[in-house]
Each structure stands twice: as structure tokens, then as C-alpha cells.
Amino acid sequence: MSHLMNTYNRLPVAFTHGKGAWLYGDDGKEYLDALAGIAVNGLGHGHPRFVRALAEQAGRLIHTSNIYRVREQEQLAERLCALTGMNEVFFGNSGAEANEAALKLVRLYGHQRGQPEAQTIVMERAWHGRTLATLAATGSEKARKGFDPLPSGFIRVPYNDLAAVERAAAADGRVLAVWLEVLQGEGGIRLADRDYVRALRRLCDERGWLLMIDEVQSGIGRTGKWFGFQWADIRPDVVTIAKGLGSGVPIGAIVASGPAAGVFGPGSHGTTFGGGPLACRAGLETLAIIEEENLLANAAAQGERIRAGLARALADVPGVVEIRGQGLMIGIEMDRPCGELVKMALEARLLINVTQETVIRLLPPLVIDAQEADEIVARLAPCVARFAAAARRAA
């Protein structure tokens, strides 16, 4: 790896192939994937129908250009609007691009309303990406460090705190949008209260603001519904999507409705690769397979099974603060930094990661079955117990 930029602390394993929820390393070992490429591989690995669809599309057409119509793009946009109840879609290549587009939309929305200094209220612990603008909106000081000066236009408030949003609005009349994840991923698997999300919808309606929901990690069935915001029975003005939409093929999308629809016009935004035939075919097949295999219900059921199993297995383990999440987006908070658990789990042939230094994050494929859910618990719980015991001895 001597010619790769040193931007990742990589684990000492590479994978040669996968099947379902399992990956096979070049070390000859089989690993249970409880991370799914960080919420990307919702269909697991090597799904036969998905593989056939990609091969067929690659043999037919991979890329043309957005200066022409792309039928697969039109079909996927129609499908996403049907699932969200929204009106129009722009396709990019990643979550960061989708979120960058959302920020550009707010700025243009402000200019069109005669407010060229639009401010967006964002949340502590939020994660929106690593471009300069999305980094400015992200709530991680560690991620932002060293990249100043970052773009302005953001007011950061505590998560799940409606009064803080109202105070921020009272202090600055330039606010035109509120942006949040209804289930923070990098922020530690923290779930927004449904009443809070509904209250934000009402507040945005009253003030003429845009309500923007980042579903890059929580969308495409991961919580047990197509999108996390649907648990609160509201419709945002802007939703950003990526990760699970292409099941491993890079694709991102911004979906708009209400006052956010029609803000972009020809020339106001664009992309070379976004919305190409191959990526959009991947999105169409992903959505069809999730629906036909009833994977929303499976995500809800297996997620509950994992959380309940962990609650039983870790009930007497000191240092476990909380087990939380929704669907197959699960966090186990420890009372101290626990990054070493990633390597411990790897030795147990289980793939996990740790976020916010103290939260074990599980994002298994939506296709896992009950036996695999139980196996995640069986492999992870002893690692957590050994970690906690070692921490007590060192104290």
C-alpha cells in the first residue's frame, strides 16, 4: 500500500468474494459482515438477481451523458418520488455530493427569495460529508480540524432540542433551513424523537424554511421503513440518499418537494457521471429486490432480535451504557473509548466498527436471517465482555 495516501487505518485483511452476509478473506477465513460496507451492501454480497442485472446492463450501456435523456434515471426518479411522496430528483455519485447539492439548493432558494445570506440550522454530532461545505455542516470538531477556513452559513444546535432551534432562529433572521439526520450514524446511533421531528416540520411550515433530512445512512430500508423520516409521518422538503441505494454501485440522490421543488433549473447544477444507466439500474434493482423479498420487515425483525439478544448477553457486563437503534442500525455505547473492539471482533471473524470513540456500530445487510442475527450476538458479546473485564483490571 506504499503508493496509497495514508487516509485510512486499515485492518489487516482483504476480501476476495462474498455471499449474502458473509465475506471471504485472502487469509482463507470466513467473516460475518455486520457492517455492510458502512450501510451500503443492503442486499449483502453476490445477490444473484442483482449480479445478473448489472452484468446485463454493463453489456448494454454503462454511460452516455446528462445532455441526453437517460431512461433508467427517469425510472429511478419516478420510483423514489413514489416511495417518498416527493416531486423531483437529482442524481450524483455519493452521499457527500447529494448533501452538497442540498446546500447549494438552500443557497439558491435564499437568493430567489431575496435572502442571499441564508443560514442553515444543523445538529451537534451530525455527519454530512467531507467536502468543505458538508464538513462545515458536520458536527465533528475532529473531522473539521485543519481545514479552516470552512464555508459559513451554519448555526449548530444540540440534537433533539426544539427550544435550541427556536432560540437560534430568534437570534438570526437569516435562517432558511433546518437539516438533520433522523437517526445519526457517525454521531453514535442516536435517534430523533418523533415528536421533535414533527415539531420541526410545523416550525418550518410556519417560518417558510426548508426541512432537510439526511438519509444517506438511514435510508433505503435500514430502519425498517424505506426512510427514517417516515416513522414520524412527515414529508421533508429535501431528502438526501446514497449508500444503500446502489448496493455497492456508487450513486447519490437529492429528492425535493414543496418549496424546494423547482429551485434548480438548467445550468444551476450538474454532474458528469451522476444518474448514469448502470448506477440507476443498480438502484432500480435494489428497490425491487427489497420490496419483493420483504426486506423492510426483515430489517425491523432482525434488528429487534439483535438488540434483544445483546441486551440479554450483556445485561451483567459493566461498562455497557446503552443498546439503542432502529432496524438494522444498532449502537452499543460503552463507558470508555472502545476502538480496540474492532480488532477483537475481527479476530472473532465479525466485521463491526466504532464511532464517536465509545459506540460500537452494527449495520448488517438487510438480507440477514435469524440464525445470522444470533451469530452476530454470539460473536460480539464475548468480545465486549473481555474488553470490559480488561478495563476493570486496568482501572
Q: DSSP states of 75-87 as a string?
A: HHHHHHHHHHT--
Contact present, 225 and 296 (Cβ < 8 Å): yes
Q: Which among 118, 95, 160 has a CA at the least distance from the CA of 324? A: 160
What is the DSSP pairing of strand 30-33 with strand 350-351? parallel
**Cβ atoms within 10 A of the Cβ of 71, count?**
12
Q: Which residues pair with 179 in a beta bridge?
A: 212
| Rounded distance between C-alpha atoms, residue 174 and residue 345, angstroms | 47
Q: Which among 71, 113, 294, 320 has a CA at the least distance from the CA of 209? A: 113
Residues 6+ apart with CB under 8 A from 264: 90, 105, 108, 256
Instruction: Give the angle 77-211-229 at the CA atoms, nearest 5°.
Output: 65
Q: Find the helix packing angle between 162-171 and 194-207, rounded to 10°.
A: 20
Contact present, 40 and 375 (Cβ < 8 Å): no
What is the DSSP pairing of strand 175-180 with strand 119-123? parallel
Q: Which among 143, 156, 197, 191 has a CA at the least distance from the CA of 356? A: 143
Place of cell 426541512: 211
pLDDT score of 393:
85
Q: What is the per-residue pLDDT across 18-39, written as a single tens digit (0 to 9) for each?
A: 999 999 999 999 999 999 999 9
Q: Listing from the earlier edge strand, what are the strands of the sheet with 359-362?
A: 320-326, 329-334, 359-362, 353-355
Reduced to 3 states (helix: H, G, I; strand: E, B; else coil), residue 330 is strand
Segments in the chain below pLDDT 70: 1
pLDDT score of 394:
85
Please compute, for residue 104, the number of CA atoms within 13 A of its CA located in the half-sphere on the CB side. 17
| Rounded distance between C-alpha atoms, residue 346 and residue 357, angstroms | 17
The separation between CA 239 and the C-alpha centre of its own chain, rounded to angstroms, equals 12
| Rounded distance between C-alpha atoms, residue 228 and residue 181, angstroms | 9
Q: Which among 92, 33, 305 has a CA at the least distance from the CA of 216? A: 92
**What is the model's pTM?**
0.96
pLDDT score of 1:
65
Cell readout for 170 is 430568534
Let me know how long the chain is: 395
Contact present, 313 and 320 (Cβ < 8 Å): no
